[in-house]
């Protein structure tokens, strides 16, 4: 396509929650999205009560391309207009009725750069035993990205974060943030950090802690008070402002941690296992918050071992295992790899035989049938279903998930990793 939208996303039915993978988006003359197409090019228009969540949307116009992180259209809120931010344009213009819609372009400028960063601990009485907490790691994170740092426990994620924060010193290599060495105090004013299982001064209240940290970040008194109130509101702790931190639950502490990380409006936010220890509601809230922060233009660098979070949030991920970098890539790329199969779900048992004949593996539960069949047979199957009067519920390409990629990379031997 010379000009137009190239998209990958999910269309979900609000009522049933069933989702369909789609690619491609069509717009009317007024620039409103009106339809989509399936991976094989079959076009359809939006129905009611549908939410379109695009994971990757590119507008291609010659050499320019824009990347859309998240596009949720609630059909009931139409007309919706795509807004776009061209390369180099300073600020995005967001449509007020679409708070979750944002067009984001990545400038390609690395905001965090790690060069051969490694950490070795010596243990044992004579300091002879070496433990390679982090093998030389070279990585860069672009401005405006949400970057996920994945790995099983003990992989070295926290070590990397501590190195970046200047809490421990590397055995070799270096890292820069915003163009300066990561130990430089000037950099610290522009970054925020949430450690794993954060711990704060017991004797302070949440409000006092934010005030104290605000002072240390060089914020003026009036600013501090205002921002603290804002932030507490934002993380949902407004009522706990005068409560002593020693009385906070784990989830509340996590929120305070986020609050102090974003208090001074940093450009980059580092989070170590931000979702750990939270209940599903808490996790959802944190995820939404992280998304919001990214919408505001902040770069998010976070580590986690929960892949679904990474899949939902990240632009790119890196996979770490036993101190080694095992893989880097954009989520879109990694999850767009089709496995060559399609899953079709419909109501109406009559078409089962026809689909089976095409080579599909069918499973019926009452009236609902689920079938897996090769991609190239999809058209024929859909025809068969239409002919038999079956009611199509969903068509989902079976894609490799991030989990697949993760497991593959983690179990690869070091030699394979290098390839």
Partner 1 sequence: MSARLASIAFNTFREAVRERVLYNLIFFALLITAASVLVGQISIGIERIVLVNLGLSAISLFGIVIAIFIGIGLVWKEMEKRTLYTLLARPVRRWEFIVGKFLGLVGTLVVNAALMAVGFFAALYYLVHAFDRSDLHLLAALYFIILQFIVVTALALLFSSFSSPLLSAVMAFALFFIGSFAEDLRAFAQMSEGAARWLTVAAAHLVPNFASLNVIAQVAHQQPVSADLMLANTLYALFYAGAALCGAVLIFERRNLK
Partner 2 sequence: MTASRSITRFFAALLVLCLVGSILTLRRLDRLRASATLEEVLYLPSARVLRYLSFGYTGLMANLYWTRTVQYFGRRHGERAARFDLLPPLLQITTDLDPHLVVAYKYGSIFLAQEPPEGAGRPDLAVDFVEKGIRANPDDWQLYYHLGFVHFIERKDYIAASEAFRRGSEVPGAHPWMKVMAAAMAQFGGERETARRLWTYIHQSTEDQYIRANAVKRLRALEVDDAVPRLEERIRLYHQRTGLWPESWNQMIVDGFLRGIPLDPLGLPYKLMPGGRVEVQKPEDLPFIRHGLPQGLAPSLFAVPDKANADKAKEQEKQ
Q: Which residues make up the interface to partner 2 (CB under 8 A)?
A: 163, 166, 169-170, 174-175, 181-183
Residues 6 or more apart whose Cβ sits within 8 Å of residue 358 = 373, 377, 380, 381, 384
Q: How far is the CB of 227 from partner 1 (least distance, A)?
A: 14
Per CB under 8 A, 342 contacts partner 1: no
- Tell how far CA 79 is from the center of its chain: 27
What percentage of the chain's residues is helix, strand, coil (to nearest 5)?
30, 35, 30
CA-nearest of 370, 378, 368, 369 to 342 is 378
Per CB under 8 A, 381 contacts partner 1: no
Per CB under 8 A, 203 contacts partner 1: yes
Per CB under 8 A, 87 contacts partner 1: no
Whole-angstrom Cα distance, residue 230 to residue 237?
Answer: 10
Q: Looking at beta carbons only, is 125 or 199 nearer to partner 1?
A: 199
Residue 210 DSSP symbol: H
Q: How far is the CB of 73 from partner 1 (least distance, A)?
A: 38
Q: Looking at beta carbons only, is 157 or 264 nearer to partner 1?
A: 264
- Residue showing tokens 């819609």: 101
Q: How far is the CB of 216 from partner 1 (least distance, A)?
A: 5
* Residue 35: its H or E element: strand 33-37
Give the number of other Cβ atoms within 10 Å of residue 164's Cβ. Answer: 24
Rounded to 5 degrees, what are φ and ψ at 37? -135, 155
Rounded alpha-carbon distances, angstroms, from residue 83 to 68, 89, 99, 101, 262: 10, 12, 12, 8, 27
181 binds, among partner 1, partner 2, none (CB under 5 to 8 A by kind): partner 2
215 binds, among partner 2, partner 1, none (CB under 5 to 8 A by kind): partner 1
Bridge partners (DSSP) listed for residue 7? 57
Q: Looking at beta carbons only, is 27 or 200 nearer to partner 1?
A: 200
Q: How far is the CB of 148 from partner 2 (least distance, A)?
A: 24
Per CB under 8 A, 132 contacts partner 1: no
Residue span 360-379 as binding mask against partner 1, x where in contact by CB under 8 A, dash where not: --------------------
CA pseudo-torsion sign 231, 234, 239, 243: negative
Bridge partners (DSSP) listed for residue 399? 338
In 149-249, where does DSSP find H-type helix?
157-165, 185-188, 206-216, 221-235
Per CB under 8 A, 198 contacts partner 1: yes
Q: How far is the CB of 183 from partner 2 (least distance, A)?
A: 5
Q: Looking at beta carbons only, is 168 or 243 nearer to partner 1?
A: 168
Q: Are 253 and 202 in contact (CB under 8 A)?
A: no
Query: Three-state SS for 19?
Result: strand
Q: Are 56 and 7 in contact (CB under 8 A)?
A: yes
199 binds, among partner 1, partner 2, none (CB under 5 to 8 A by kind): partner 1
Q: Looking at beta carbons only, is 20 or 260 nearer to partner 1?
A: 260
Sheet architecture: strand order including 191-194:
191-194, 268-272, 299-304, 146-150, 316-321, 324-330
165 binds, among partner 1, partner 2, none (CB under 5 to 8 A by kind): partner 1
Whole-angstrom Cα distance, residue 189 to residue 215?
Answer: 11
Per CB under 8 A, 147 contacts partner 1: no
237 binds, among partner 1, partner 2, none (CB under 5 to 8 A by kind): none
Q: How far is the CB of 332 from partner 2 (least distance, A)?
A: 33
Q: How far is the CB of 181 from partner 2 (least distance, A)?
A: 6
Per CB under 8 A, 221 contacts partner 1: no
Q: Looking at beta carbons only, is 159 or 291 nearer to partner 2?
A: 159
User: Binder to partner 1 among 92, 110, 173, 195 (CB under 8 A)?
Assistant: 195
Q: Looking at beta carbons only, is 4 or 166 nearer to partner 2?
A: 166
Per CB under 8 A, 213 contacts partner 1: yes
In 105-237, where does DSSP find H-type helix?
157-165, 185-188, 206-216, 221-235
Bridge partners (DSSP) listed for residue 394? 345
Query: Three-state SS for 83?
Result: coil
Query: Three-state SS for 317?
Result: strand
Q: Looking at beta carbons only, is 167 or 221 nearer to partner 2?
A: 167
Q: How far is the CB of 172 from partner 1 (least distance, A)?
A: 14
Per CB under 8 A, 33 contacts partner 1: no
Residue span 229-268 as binding mask against partner 1, x where in contact by CB under 8 A, dash where not: ----------------------------x--xx--x----
Q: Which stretch binds partner 1 (CB under 8 A): 109-117, 215-223, 273-281, 314-322?
A: 215-223
């Amino acid at each position: 396509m010379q000009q137009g939208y190239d998209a990958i996303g999910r269309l979900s039915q609000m009522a049933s929650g069933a989702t369909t993978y789609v690619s491609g988006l069509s717009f009317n003359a007024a620039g409103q999205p009106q339809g989509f197409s399936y991976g094989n090019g079959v076009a359809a228009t939006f129905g009611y009560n549908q939410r379109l969540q695009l994971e990757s949307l590119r507008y291609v116009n010659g050499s320019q391309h824009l990347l859309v992180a998240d596009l949720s259209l609630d059909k009931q809120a139409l007309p919706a207009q795509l807004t776009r931010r061209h390369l180099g344009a300073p600020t995005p213009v967001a449509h007020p009725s679409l708070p979750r819609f944002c067009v984001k372009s990545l400038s390609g400028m690395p905001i965090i750069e790690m060069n051969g960063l490694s950490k070795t601990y010596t243990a044992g009485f004579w300091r002879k035993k070496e433990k390679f907490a982090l093998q030389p790691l070279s990585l860069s994170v672009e401005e405006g990205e949400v970057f996920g740092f994945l790995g099983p426990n003990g992989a070295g994620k926290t070590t990397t974060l501590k190195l970046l924060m200047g809490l421990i010193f590397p055995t070799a290599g270096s890292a820069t943030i915003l163009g300066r060495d990561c130990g430089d105090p000037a950099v610290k004013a522009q970054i925020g950090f949430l450690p794993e299982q954060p711990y704060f001064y017991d004797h302070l209240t949440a409000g006092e802690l934010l005030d104290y940290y605000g002072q240390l970040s060089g914020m003026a008194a009036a600013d501090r008070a205002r921002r603290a109130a804002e932030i507490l509101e934002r993380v949902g702790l407004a009522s706990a402002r005068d409560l002593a931190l020693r009385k906070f639950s784990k989830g509340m502490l996590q929120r305070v941690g986020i609050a102090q990380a974003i208090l001074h409006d940093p450009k980059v936010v580092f989070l170590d296992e931000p979702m750990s220890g939270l209940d599903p509601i808490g996790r959802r809230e944190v995820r939404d918050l992280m998304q919001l922060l990214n919408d505001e233009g902040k770069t998010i660098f976070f580590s986690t071992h929960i892949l679904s979070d990474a899949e939902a949030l990240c632009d790119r991920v890196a996979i770490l295992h036993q101190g080694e970098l095992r893989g880097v890539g954009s989520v879109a790329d990694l999850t767009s790899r089709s496995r060559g199969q399609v899953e079709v779900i419909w109501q109406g048992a009559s078409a089962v035989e026809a689909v089976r004949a095409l080579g599909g593996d069918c499973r019926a539960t009452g009236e609902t049938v689920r079938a897996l069949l090769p991609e190239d047979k999809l058209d024929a199957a859909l025809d068969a279903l239409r002919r038999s009067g079956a009611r199509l519920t969903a068509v989902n390409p079976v894609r490799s998930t991030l989990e697949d990629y993760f497991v593959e990379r983690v179990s690869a031997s070091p030699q394979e990793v290098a390839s």
